[in-house]
Chain A
């Protein structure tokens, strides 16, 4: 690869320069972004699949949210309420989501074994238990990798993580790493402050050094560095970066999602999906409620979740995006049915729930059942890999796909999980 072509990645230098010039001009009037987005509205209607993962870091107590056990000793104080989906009841502190449940489905028969935060986080994100010899790609990397072809004009990263950093790309390589932003959509250090000619000269010099070092065959990380450089140049000069500017949404839309970090993250997820990004993860932490769980949930966590999630689901539906966009709500595990001495619940992976909806999923159904005290799954149990296989299926990604790990070993997509058939018509 010649020096100058390394970072210009398919564009001619002249084309690149026009990009740089465009971005420089756009940096000033923010409206230019909106205009270009509006102008492209027709393009945006082109269908592409996407997924949004709502990640509940810390492990939320799903029997206080999606699978209530009123009257049981383990049940806690919350009452179930009816929802827009026939026969589905959820927690009284989720009244807005209750009106959207006809768009969603619940799996109440998740049963996993990883109840340590880091291990559970890895397992639920990849479908594999941690293994010292291989790093597996997470949902975002897999889905971005499989769907990137549908959005050839995408200039911003195909895997965006709002807040938490998600789990990495594993053996798929740093090109599929999550692009982490805060919930205000601020991307640090985007402004280069020099003229485009000069930047392209600098890049030419830089790529000569990169090439020399790569040519010395010292290992893959030197190539990875160059690949990420090239993606960075593309992003820096793209007007698609406007999709991150969540504060440009009309105020009533912002209010609908809630003036919270998670609310803004969900709104940004919608904007990014509209722009063509195939995978967005939005993080809501603070579910590790070893003490005083019910007050924390009713006063704090559930209202924040309810408002933002309901806004996201309904907004996607109204814009006609829901049929192509999968939504997954989950944490690394759930919490013990037994309430501990501090009025909290501890880590529990044996019987818990996740919520899914959109894309190819059947809506408004409940899959599986737990025992009356919530401690056992009494129907067929499902694993992280089963859930992942189902999400991929909802996006029409072939489950026959096999990756080759860096060590040459074949790795079946989603760890060969089996599709949860009740989630499909």
Chain B
């Protein structure tokens, strides 16, 4: 029955999308796209952008903050490339943008970055982001096939599948987790490593990632300071009990692949039509739980999967499908989604941490969070549209330079973010890796797809520290500490980027028909998206003298300094 219900729901939704996108189209046509003026400058005819601008600037008025000046063209261009496609712009992309004289040039660039022209890079970037969210960065987990996870994510993002379907596909996935195997479905990797111990991790992570609920503590007891109750944890957990991870072994020990399946479940009491589980209270008393969503909605307690009796009567339920539907309908779902995407672009979300939307954790901009979530739902959960609204907002266009009027807006010291200037943040390691390839024009020669991704994984692994808990908690030393600086100073990645071999980036710059000043300009544009200052030119020239006319060695020294700078590694 549930499966049928699911299909029916899909139909209704897609009909709904049709109507909705038509509405948006009308609206877009009605907006004065050609008009040049304050109005278009301000929100590009997009009501969602207007809404964001109004909400954020109301916060500035309340806190008596004067927002920073707009970022320079070069700064904004660099930032939007890093955030949408995960790397710095090429010199050509930078020049094109600066030369564009259109009043809607920002909208044009965002449009391009979200278009088919950049599809591979867009999908690669967001697959990286979501691989980390869903399965972490650690490489040594036999129960996850990272490559399978990433392939599925890349495909989802290149098709821009709506976020409700994205969630549903991940939460309900069945199939084999490894590419090339029969029945491959990479989405299964979200759950393949989280089903041990009755699916405790599946429960905690699903609630955390998609609903912004921190339930891991309520596994054992009622939460001491939020409303989480122990029964809610186990009722949520009950949705995962029909699911099994079947390991296929290679030889005797190594896991070859894992198949995720749903099976009829008899429950711990042995009665499949009322399949229950038991959990233990702190005082040792046992309690029973059936699938109940966090808002109290109950689901058919049957442990049978949907099937038909001989007389045609339908019975049973697919618990994970029922759960996905309840999650999609939940008001928490779009809030959790927009909070995550917002924090990707601004460095801070509306709550800290971003995946805790509990009532004890008041957001910085409650109406904006709520309203943006609603608009995301109205837009049929189109992630690219959400990105467009955020990147075209006034707040996203501001300089990172702090003025007298907004020095107090500093979330790094614990204040709630007001987004009155762009907050500095270090590139993610994946962004640094990709940016070095781009800046040295090595991305052309680089293998594409999964092979390249695995190489990047290997490089990343040097920064990952596992805490050795069942929950797979991990941290990274790619956090501005000494190991990171040592990697930039002396590591292979920067060594390769600063190579002087024939045909490499520095060799091409050195042997081009540019003069020395232009060569230095090229290095600055490629890495920092700006021109060198007079003082920097003077030092660069001294370097040329010191290398006694060995131009390529001097360029190598300058390039090393540029790549090691705060200005390069910090998204500003």
Query: Is there an interface contact between B486 and A188, defined as CB atoms closer than 8 Å?
Result: yes
Binds A, one of B3-11, B117-125, B320-328, B423-431: B423-431
B140 to chain A, nearest CB (A): 13
Smallest beta-carbon distance A109→chain B, Å: 20
- Given the complex of chains A and B, what is the CA–CA distance between A178 and B483 in angstroms? 10
> CB-nearest residue of chain B relative to A217?
B402
Distance A180 CA – B464 CA, assembled complex (angstroms): 11
Contact status A117-B473, CB under 8 Å: yes
Cβ contact of B467, chosen from A57, A221, A347, A405, cutoff 8 A: A57
Give Cα A224 to B220, complex, Å.
41
Q: Is A251 an interface residue (CB 8 A)?
A: no
B346-365 residues at the A interface, CB under 8 angstroms: 351-353, 356, 361
- Find chain A residues with CB under 8 A from B280 CB: 340
A133-B352, A208-B536 as given contacts; A201 in contact with B546, CB under 8 Å: yes
Contact of A201 among B468, B543, B566 (CB under 8 A): B543
Cα distance, A272 to B361, chains bound together (Å)? 42
Q: At the interface, yes or no: B460 with Cβ under 8 Å from chain A? A: no
Interchain nearest-CB distance for B482 vs A (Å): 5
Report Cα–Cα, A133/B535, bound state, in Å.
40
Judge whether B401 and A218 touch: CB under 8 Å: yes
Residue contact B220 to A208, C-beta cutoff 8 Å: no
Q: Which residues of chain B are within 8 angstroms of A406 by Cβ–Cβ distance?
A: 410, 412-414
Q: B558 near A285 (CB under 8 angstroms)? A: no
B470: CB under 8 A from chain A? yes
Q: How far is the CB of B295 from chain A (nearest CB, A)?
A: 24
Task: Tell me whether A116 and B216 are in contact in the complex, defined as CB-CB below 8 angstroms, given that A164-B467, A407-B413 are known contacts.
Answer: yes
Complex interface bits, B103-127 against A, C-beta within 8 A gives 1, otherwise 0 = 0000000000000000000000000
B467's closest neighbor in chain A, by CB? A57
Residue of A nearest to B538 (CB): A208
Per-position binary interface string of chain A over residues 169-212, scored 1 when its CB falls under 8 Å from any chain B CB and 0 otherwise: 00100100111100000011111110000100111111011101
A405 to B280, CA, bound (A): 42
CA distance A16 to B298 in the complex (A): 71
Q: Is the CB of A222 within 8 A of B477?
A: no
Given the complex, which residues of B lie within 8 Å of A290, measured CB to CB? 197, 470
B14-35 vs A: 1/0 string, CB under 8 Å?
Answer: 0000000000000000000000
Of the listed stretches B58-66, B487-495, B504-512, chain A binds B487-495
Tell me which residues across on chain A come within 8 A of B102, comparing CB atoms. Answer: none
Q: Does A82 contact B (CB under 8 A)?
A: no
Does A113 reach chain B (CB closer than 8 Å)?
yes
For residue A286, CB closer than 8 A to chain B, the reply is yes
Contact between B216 and A157, CB atoms less than 8 A apart: no
321-346 of chain B: CB within 8 A of chain A? none
Residue pair B480, A117 in contact (C-beta under 8 Å) = no
Q: Are A218 and B487 in contact (CB under 8 A)?
A: no
* A/B pair count, beta carbons within 8 Å: 193
* Min CB–CB distance B24 → chain A (angstroms): 36
**Chain B residues in 8 Å Cβ range of A168:** 479
In the bound complex, CA of A113 to CA of B462 (Å): 34
Most buried by A among B413, B539, B546, B566: B566
Query: Whole-angstrom distance between the alpha carbons of A118 and B426 in the complex?
Result: 23
Residue contact A232 to B482, C-beta cutoff 8 Å: yes
Chain A residues with Cβ below 8 Å from B216 are 116
CB-defined interface of A143-184 with B at 8 Å, one 1/0 digit per residue? 000000000000001000001110010010010011110000
> B536 to chain A: which residues have CB within 8 Å?
205, 208-209, 212
User: Is A220's beta carbon under 8 Å from chain B?
Assistant: yes
B471 contacts chain A at the CB level, 8 A cutoff: yes
Q: How far, in Å, is A49 (CB) from chain B's closest CB?
A: 23
Instruction: Decide yes or no: A157 and B412 within 8 Å by CB, A219-B402, A225-B566, A225-B569 being known contacts.
Output: no
Please state if A206 and B565 are interface contacts (CB–CB under 8 Å): yes
Collect the chain A residues with CB atoms within 8 Å of residue B528's CB. 209
Contact partners of B462 in chain A: CB under 8 A: 188
Is A58 touching B468 in the complex (CB atoms < 8 A)? yes
Asked if A405 contacts B468 (CB within 8 A), the reply is: no
Partner of A407, one of B400, B414, B473, B475: B414
Q: A346 within 8 Å of B by Cβ?
A: yes
- Chain B nearest Cβ from A192, distance in angstroms: 5
**B74 CB–A CB distance under 8 Å:** no
Chain B positions within 8 Å of A113 at CB level: 224
A38 within 8 A of B: no
Are B486's CB and A236's CB within 8 A? yes
Count of chain A residues with a beta carbon within 8 Å of a chain B beta carbon: 76
Name the residue of chain B whose CB is nearest to the CB of A283.
B468
Per-position binary interface string of chain A over residues 323-364, scored 1 when its CB falls under 8 Å from any chain B CB and 0 otherwise: 000000000000000101010001100000000000000000
- Which listed residue (B477, B480, B491, B557) contacts A225, Cβ 8 A? B480
Complex Cα distance, B511 from A169, in Å, reads: 47
Tell me if B470 and A188 are in contact (CB < 8 A). Answer: no
Judge if A403 is at the interface, Cβ distance under 8 Å: no
Which residues of chain A have C-beta atoms less than 8 A from B217's C-beta? 115-116, 119
- Interface contact B413-A219, CB-CB below 8 Å: no
Also in contact, A188 and B473, with CB within 8 A (given A57-B468, A121-B467, A226-B566): no
Is A231 located at the chain interface by the 8 A CB criterion? yes
Q: A134-B414, A236-B489, A347-B220 are in contact. Are A222 and B468 (CB under 8 A)?
A: no
Complex contact B467–A219 (CB within 8 A): no
**In the complex with contacts A157-B482, A188-B462, A205-B558 CB distance below 8 A:** yes
Contacts A177-B481, A285-B468, A290-B470: A205 and B489 contacting too (C-beta < 8 A)? no
Could you tell me if A235 and B482 are in contact, using CB atoms closer than 8 angstroms? yes
Cβ-based interface call for A37 (8 A): no
Report the bound CA distance from A226 to B481 in whole Å: 11
Given contacts A209-B536, A212-B533, contact A219 B412 (CB under 8 A): yes
If A202-B560, A218-B401, A219-B423 touch, whether A228 touches B412 (CB-CB below 8 Å) is no
28 sampled A-B residue pairs with Cβ under 8 A: A3-B539, A57-B467, A117-B469, A157-B482, A165-B477, A180-B465, A180-B483, A188-B462, A190-B486, A193-B490, A198-B557, A201-B546, A203-B561, A204-B539, A209-B562, A209-B565, A210-B567, A212-B567, A213-B565, A218-B402, A218-B424, A221-B426, A225-B566, A285-B467, A290-B197, A346-B220, A407-B414, A407-B415
Chain A interface (Cβ within 8 Å of chain B)?
A: 3, 57-58, 113, 115-119, 121, 132-134, 157, 163-165, 168, 171, 174, 177-180, 187-193, 198, 201-206, 208-210, 212-214, 216-222, 224-226, 228-229, 231-232, 235-236, 283, 285-288, 290-291, 338, 340, 342, 346-347, 405-408
With A212-B535, A228-B481, A407-B414 given, name 16 new contacts (CB 8 A): A3-B539, A57-B467, A116-B216, A132-B352, A157-B482, A177-B481, A179-B481, A180-B477, A188-B462, A190-B490, A202-B561, A205-B540, A220-B412, A225-B566, A236-B486, A287-B468
Interface residues in chain B, defined as those with a beta carbon under 8 Å from any beta carbon in chain A? 197, 216-217, 220-221, 224, 280, 284, 351-353, 356, 361, 400-402, 410, 412-416, 423-426, 462, 465-471, 473, 475, 477, 479-483, 485-487, 489-491, 528, 533, 535-536, 539-540, 542-543, 546, 557-558, 560-562, 564-567, 569-570, 572
